[in-house]
Structure 1
């Protein structure tokens, strides 16, 4: 008698979680092998950021007990700087496509120095590019010397990725170490033109990058899309497409950011068919006295002032102006910034509407696990003050 047919059993893929260790040897022990397995399609992965609060928020966003969506190999948690964190679903093919396009643009595989958190896409891409090149990355320990890290790396084709704050600090303290890299990718936040000019004048091979978790990392370098990346601007907003695009958001199939193979970034920009210029977030514009004010432009102007080391700009309700432009600044060593001076400085460059009407001094700009400014925390500090 023939045995009864046994139907195929479909086993849902479960997401594994790896806590992000501090930058150091533990990254190569824990995250490095887990990411390589994810890129091979063997074990879907999400890396949780450090800290009890961020880790709990990330866990809530990825909901590891729920079955994983088809095709997803990596879930990257967005920073949540403007809302609840979300899990971005990436396939191994998308991450590999991004890494391959980056290496092609830079001139070939090389040795990478990891200096960014591995819970964010920029840090994970350093590992992915290293895996694609078949080379173990070097890791800059938290608080470690860039000079020492570079000295321990092979001399042929050295790359790293930094956020603007890291570039500014390294340019002041260890410019020779920066010059040792064949490319220093800078992204994660808008980079001041003066900082870029200073770095290039110092002989640093700086490459600006634009992208996000939804595009598996940077996909536009120095304004030029990587191979395979499509760019368009619709109603002033930047939209991106290509093989590096995410599948969508974790457990949110109705998200309207992904439509027809395009991702709507919510960034304002212009694109002439060859070069993309990003002007800031569409939803970050402050309307003060009926005039649109871009916070990023005010921040850039403030950082040019000799009394200001760093700055974040926010808006507060104002009965007269609608929105009051508020500046939170980190003073330069030995300096005491004054509101009147900063108002005149910004007003001369951007117009009276952009001049801050309120000033708060910070010891340091709070940052997210990605290294970007934590605008929500700054807003909370301003409200508390």
Structure 2
């Protein structure tokens, strides 16, 4: 094994492959790999990249879909000491080009399904000197090969690791994780090896992981949620199945066929899954499910418990904090009706404060008062790539300014009320979307709902609800009647309802409220 100086992700995979060599690590519709095989493929990928001129510390861009090949490429970078940067594959070409110019990678590993976009990237980003094509279940047959360009995993046997990679230290940069911003160029969040290893350790106990656990991962590869889910499983020797796209029917079949033990989704995915015929599938293998990424509405939470699995966790973290810089609600916490809206208490060795908006970490608010959530923990990122001013603004000593609004209750449970940017100010009164959306989602004919504020000459902003219907007969009057019969005060009542076939989503799968506002103001 190559020399290591402190905890790192290369060392972590070597240890797992030594102690759990025959445990299945990766599975999709094309390939299945044990940990012994996964390590061998990762080492071959490292040799391939080395041959393309990649060295320790060089960036390697990954333009890939969820599959068994993506983690092999990821750990191939770490075997060599390179720094992977997973791109937002759904971004438009000009944003991808600007992102690559800012990150300046030496090589690009891309799924063959993106061959047409990459042809434009070649012409516009000359600093990339090495290209590797990947084949997944999504790759069209005519896009598998192009000239002499190497293909993984097909060509990996041609690249034995016949040299010892340079030593890795815990403080070495491990990954640049792109934020899921909706405008401009995504920010690059810098995570070291030691911090991501700490994130793996912290996730084990809320996830309830053992080497016999298994899960399904279909998160976008650039989303920190992919890493927060995937890396702890690899660290402990558990199994992951990958889908290259979201298909709720396929998810239900896979849980039954693979006898999966765990499932973690964002709330939007849970709502879509619950629209399917869940009861016709054998989900008895599930020991625990969970949600993360955004606030969950109570009707969906109750439906998960009743129809999917009674043991539910809720994790709250950010791209900048990874797992151990966040909070968790355990099944026992979520069983308490008075705490069901909480995201829990800080995880092991992390700290969370609620401070006055724009205040310093010392401006801590008492329980019950709403302010900005600040987070500190052992997996907190270092800074942003090539943006010292923003780094100074967001990273204050050991603290990270999350931009989320929240409160603590008297028992120390944290409640996330939404984003500072999501707050609606109508008639001088602050309104958060969550409580309004909960009322709408309780209606049996509502599949999804999102509430935003739009400019209004009289009130500053008016509250507008975007709704996806289960029943096309549902109309404004029926929704307004439900709202008026609820406990919502009059100033929180939507003044307008708009019906959509689906809500726009960002790279992480969350509802894109900015896109809704732009859509409404443009139309």
Paired residues of 2:60 and 2:105 also in contact (CA < 8 A): no
**Cα shift at 1:323:** 0.8
Partner of 1:80: 181
**Cα shift at 1:304:** 1.5
The 3 A distance-change label for structure 1 pair 241 and 40 is: farther
**Cα shift at 1:240:** 0.7
Question: Looking at CA atoms only, which structure, 1 or 2, has the larger radius of gyration?
Answer: 2
Paired residues of 1:61 and 1:87 also in contact (CA < 8 A): no
Distance 1:154 1:124 in 2: 22
**Cα shift at 1:85:** 2.2
Partner of 2:520: 382
Partner of 1:295: 433
Paired residues of 1:122 and 1:161 also in contact (CA < 8 A): no
Q: 5 Å matches for 1:136-215?
A: 136-142=239-245, 143=247, 145-153=250-258, 158-173=261-276, 174-175=278-279, 176=281, 179-202=284-307, 203-215=309-321
The 3 A distance-change label for structure 1 pair 270 and 52 is: closer
Any idea what the Cα deviations from partners look like across 1:171-193, whole Å, max 9, x if unmatched? Answer: 34225555532222211111102
Partner of 1:221: 328
Distance 1:41 1:259 in 2: 33
Paired residues of 2:373 and 2:405 also in contact (CA < 8 A): yes
Give me the CA root mean square deviation.
2.5
Match for 1:17 among 54, 57, 61? 61
Paired residues of 2:466 and 2:499 also in contact (CA < 8 A): yes
**Cα shift at 1:300:** 2.0
TM-score when scaled to structure 1? 0.86
The 3 A distance-change label for structure 1 pair 210 and 177 is: farther
Q: 5 Å matches for 1:3-82?
A: 13-21=57-65, 23=66, 27-29=67-69, 31-37=70-76, 42-53=81-92, 56-57=94-95, 60-61=98-99, 63-65=102-104, 71-81=172-182
Paired residues of 2:375 and 2:402 also in contact (CA < 8 A): yes
Any idea what the Cα deviations from partners look like across 1:323-359, whole Å, max 9, x if unmatched? Answer: 1111111112333321x44334334432111111122
Moved more, 360-369 or 55-64: 55-64
Distance 2:183 2:496 in 1: 22
**Cα shift at 1:117:** 1.5
The 3 A distance-change label for structure 1 pair 328 and 161 is: same
The yes-or-no answer on 1:268 pairing with 2:405 is yes
**Cα shift at 1:39:** 5.3
The yes-or-no answer on 1:331 pairing with 2:469 is yes
**Cα shift at 1:38:** 5.0
Distance 2:450 2:73 in 1: 36
The 3 A distance-change label for structure 1 pair 214 and 40 is: farther
Match for 1:309 among 426, 434, 447? 447
Structure 2, gaps ≥5 residues long: 1-54, 107-170, 330-343, 357-370
Distance 2:295 2:91 in 1: 28
Match for 2:230 among 107, 124, 127? 127
The 3 A distance-change label for structure 1 pair 48 and 381 is: same
Partner of 1:244: 379
Distance 1:229 1:41 in 2: 31
The 3 A distance-change label for structure 1 pair 364 and 71 is: same
**Cα shift at 1:316:** 1.5
Moved more, 146-155 or 43-52: 146-155
Any idea what the Cα deviations from partners look like across 1:95-138, whole Å, max 9, x if unmatched? Answer: 22122111123333322211221110111222212220234411
Partner of 1:4: none
Structure 1, gaps ≥5 residues long: 1-10
TM-score when scaled to structure 2? 0.64
Distance 1:273 1:242 in 2: 21
**Cα shift at 1:20:** 2.3
Distance 2:442 2:189 in 1: 35
Moved more, 113-122 or 345-354: 345-354
Partner of 1:253: 388
Distance 1:344 1:111 in 2: 44
Moved more, 264-273 or 160-169: 264-273
